Amino acid sequence: MKDDSPYTIAAPVEVSRVEVSRLADYLALTKPRLVSLVLLTTAIGFVVGSGAAVSFMGLLHVLIGTALVAGGGAALNQYLERDADARMRRTANRPLPAARLETKEALIFGTLITLGGLAYLYFFSGELTSAVGVVTAATYVLVYTPLKRVTPWCVAAGAVVGALPPVMGVAAASGEIAFGSAALFVIMFVWQLPHFLAIAWIYREEYANARMSVVRLTDVPGTRTTRHILVLNLILVPLTLLPSLVGIAGPGYTITAAVLGVAFAATALRRSSSDMGAYARRVFYASLIYLPILFIFLAIFRATP
């Protein structure tokens, strides 16, 4: 018997799968793992800047706005680097080089959620927080991203971008940028340098193939990179004590920061003469463990009036 019904079951299921896939690609444009770290440091900045009483709604507002700004900046970064991403194995399957989304879609999406995030911060977290968000997004998209094709010093610009979210958190909580903000900024800035140097060395050949000048290819044995990572890790140890010196953290944080700093620096000392790859990966993973623990203890042992 012929089924004359205009309705089928297969079509809605197929459409649903396509929609879910597109949503996943839009989400991928925002670099969720990167945004999660941004939100952690923003939250810690807010908690530290709040003193004794932490406003849940205030925290929620700054996290929503920051997530939009960070995700939008990431989408615009992928829009600008789509050709370079296509030349690297680790990024070739991103939505734009894999042609799952059109470039115009990424540009519109990234622009809208960035502007939406800045507006959200302006109305719900204050003018100062939104202004820091503007600087963060502009530096990421207009300075760091193009510099990656020009000079290894792009790492410093990228570190500025990553160091501003906790400043946004403090600004949202207290309405000002003070010594506590500066201490968090300095810690984040220096932490990112060995973290990114390790990444850059691991993927140095892919970056070179993509014509990205994020690492010097002449450092074949990794001697210079190792030296820089070690020096930066050692510098980071006293810098992590700044929150105690400026009065935003108590003795519990000081002890924790010192122990963590020495342990992190130790990872930069342990390198065999032949296996730079294993060394770089160890530093990279250690950095990912080190920072969240450090900042969580800062929130726990923050100084309160």
Residue 254 lies in a domain: yes
Please report, for the domain that includes residue 182, its CATH number.
1.10.357.140
Q: Which domain holds residue 185?
A: 30-300
**CB-based contacts of 270: which residues, under 8 Å, 6+ apart?**
279, 282
pLDDT in tens, 201-220: 888 888 888 888 776 655 66
Residue 275 lies in a domain: yes
The yes-or-no verdict on residue 111 having pLDDT over 80 is yes
For the chain, what is the domain count?
A: 1
Residue 6 lies in a domain: no
Residue 237 lies in a domain: yes
Q: What is the pLDDT of residue 1?
A: 44
pLDDT in tens, 41-98: 999 999 999 987 899 999 999 999 999 999 999 999 999 999 999 999 989 999 999 9
The yes-or-no verdict on residue 125 having pLDDT over 90 is yes
Q: What is the pLDDT of residue 16?
A: 63
**CB-based contacts of 67: which residues, under 8 Å, 6+ apart?**
35, 38, 39, 117
Say how far apart CA 270 and CA 276 lie, in whole Å: 11
Residue 11 lies in a domain: no
Q: Tell me which of 143 and 218 has the higher pLDDT.
A: 143
Q: Tell me which of 19 and 186 has the higher pLDDT.
A: 186
Residue 278 lies in a domain: yes
